[in-house]
Amino acid sequence: MKFLARPPRYLFFTGKGGVGKTSIACAAAIHLADAGHRVLLVSTDPASNVGQVFGLAIGNRIVPIAAVPGLSALEIDPQAAAQAYRDRIVGPVRGVLPEAVVRGIEEQLSGACTTEIAAFDEFTALLTDSAETAAFDHIVFDTAPTGHTIRLLQLPGAWSGFLESGSGNASCLGPLAGLEKQRTQYKAAVEALADPGRTRLILVARAQAATLREVARTHEELAGIGLAHQHLVINGVLPASLVEDDPLALAIVERERAALAAIPLKLRDLPRDSLPLKAFNLVGLPALRAFFGAGSAGAGQAEQGGEPPLAAPALADLAERIAVDGHGLVMLMGKGGVGKTTLAAALAVELASRGLPVHLTTSDPAAHLEETLSGAIENLTVSRIDPHAETERYRQQVLASKGAALDEAGRALLEEDLRSPCTEEIAVFQAFSRVIREAGNKFVVMDTAPTGHTLLLLDATGAYHREVARQMAPGLHYSTPMMQLQDPARTKVLLVTLAETTPVLEAASLQADLRRAGIEPWAWIINNSVAAAQPRSALLKLRARNEWVEIAAVADRHARRYALVPLQKREPVGLAGLRALCHPDRGNA
């Protein structure tokens, strides 16, 4: 395995939910410990299941893994870290500054930026050779800091003025408040990340075109800020030898071969490893120690017992209920790589096929709606919000208005503020607000950006709503985008996930965040379900059986209503392929 050859001290595993980065990070940590190294495994994943993998409680402290000599683990809780971070910043000024100013500071610290910065704050010490970690030869991180977080920390300007002014415009400077004392330590941490002698970034992906596009974007973003020493791991590749007499398995093998043959150019020169799909759940030491083996042990277990009855709603059932309204905003949200773009296109095509006017749009920089549709249909229009163009438009607008009255120093600080990554989110929000006005007389189906970006967009929505409410005279009628998102009669939010542990946990976390913003998700969509596709091969049958635990969790605990979309034999591209997602009997044979 190239990614474990001559490993540096720090190994970071990063990738979208459901690609297997936690399993690979745990297996890598065990592999290094078994080779005689002293290893600390650290999770910064909000949906961390490292403790579940090892079968013991870990939490926010270093815990030795007794069954693996030399291995210890630590789970950083980003939400708890964010709350502690907020308390540390707001506590000293509560009762000192006016209450309105304190509320403004708390608002600035309520978003996803703060959670990212707080998590980085927690593991900074782990990257700067603290006494706490001096005894370890290697530190293995499950989930790396995002390029978004690192760009925030690289902003060079005066952060400390935020508390005195109680403002920060609508950018990231709020979460950066009060960090002046840590800047030296943060700089050392970012330098450690960029040093190939100390750090290796391992990008984890699946052999799927959409997932590979996502990881290519991650690679480019991280390389662009100096984190260029990267390896690529393609996880879960179905071995051709295990196809048996299964048309679905054969179709998966052929599709994965095609995806790898067309791998994005940005990824082709990276050192690459490929790990075969396993039939067993990657929980417990025996499974983790077997993970890097060549076999697929456990496939035979699929023959034991009968198959659970399949009685889950289909995507067509959701489309039928949406169509009754005649118009409205339909937003698909979820982590990258779960199939939001394809499902948004499928719903748009289904609604347009019923004679309803539909505008399909995306704010996801990685979306490829035209390629997904690959054709035109009556009643359907398609657009894309270009983040780069919208950001430049917003920058010029702010510089021309707020910047006009500033002196040279003030304008320089404003320009720095506008270079922060959150500026893009605010700019996209403005374009998003223009589009959703159309939902009063047609369907607007929106494929949103990945979850972290979406939450930042919604933070901007909330701030805009509160500002309008403050400025309006009592008794006057007004409407804001946030009010539309909160109104179930006007907006239906659909959360997209996979029937796997991490994607379901991540979707549940997103649902909790949306509820805190007063937005109640209307339905969940479980995409690419092997169980719903009724496979024949022993390996896929066992994986199908494992899915039912997660499907039951969605149906019984998380969702008010849901739909199950089977894994397709053919790539769901083009109008026929998209229609097959709503009506599998028409195109999945």
Q: Is 130 a catalytic residue?
A: no
Choosing from 15, 43, 45, 340, which is the catalytic residue? 45
- Cβ neighbors of 313 (< 8 A, separation 6 or more) are 561, 562, 563, 564
Place of tokens 């889950």: 312
Alpha helices in 69-111 (DSSP H): 78-90, 99-108
How many residues in total does the chain contain? 589
477: burial class by Cβ within 10 Å (0-12, 13-18, 19+)? exposed
Choosing from 14, 15, 17, 20, which is the catalytic residue? 20
Q: Is 518 a catalytic residue?
A: no
72: burial class by Cβ within 10 Å (0-12, 13-18, 19+)? buried
Q: Is 21 a catalytic residue?
A: yes
Q: Is 45 a catalytic residue?
A: yes
B/e letters for 122-158, b = 16+ CB within 10 Å, e = fewer, are bbbebbbeeeebeebebbbbbbbbbbbbbbbbebebe
Q: Which of 62, 71, 60 is nearest to 26 (CA)?
A: 71
Q: Is 461 a catalytic residue?
A: no
Choosing from 15, 16, 22, 459, which is the catalytic residue? 22
Choosing from 14, 23, 110, 461, which is the catalytic residue? 23
Residue 356 sits at φ, ψ, to 5 deg, of -95, 140
Q: Is 585 a catalytic residue?
A: no
Euclidean distance between the first and final Cα of the chain, in Å?
A: 38
Choosing from 15, 16, 21, 336, which is the catalytic residue? 21
> What is the rounded CA–CA span in Å between residue 418 and residue 404?
15
Choosing from 17, 18, 337, 574, which is the catalytic residue? 18
Amino acid at 513: D
DSSP notation for 7-67: --SEEEEE--TTSSHHHHHHHHHHHHHHTT--EEEEE--TT--HHHHHTS---SS-EE-TT
Q: How many CB atoms lie within 10 A of CB 234?
A: 25
- Quick one: which H or E segment has residue 220? helix 209-224
Q: Is 20 a catalytic residue?
A: yes
Choosing from 451, 502, 529, 537, which is the catalytic residue? 502
With beta carbons less than 8 A apart as the criterion, state whether 445 and 347 touch. yes
Residues catalogued as catalytic:
18, 20-23, 45, 502
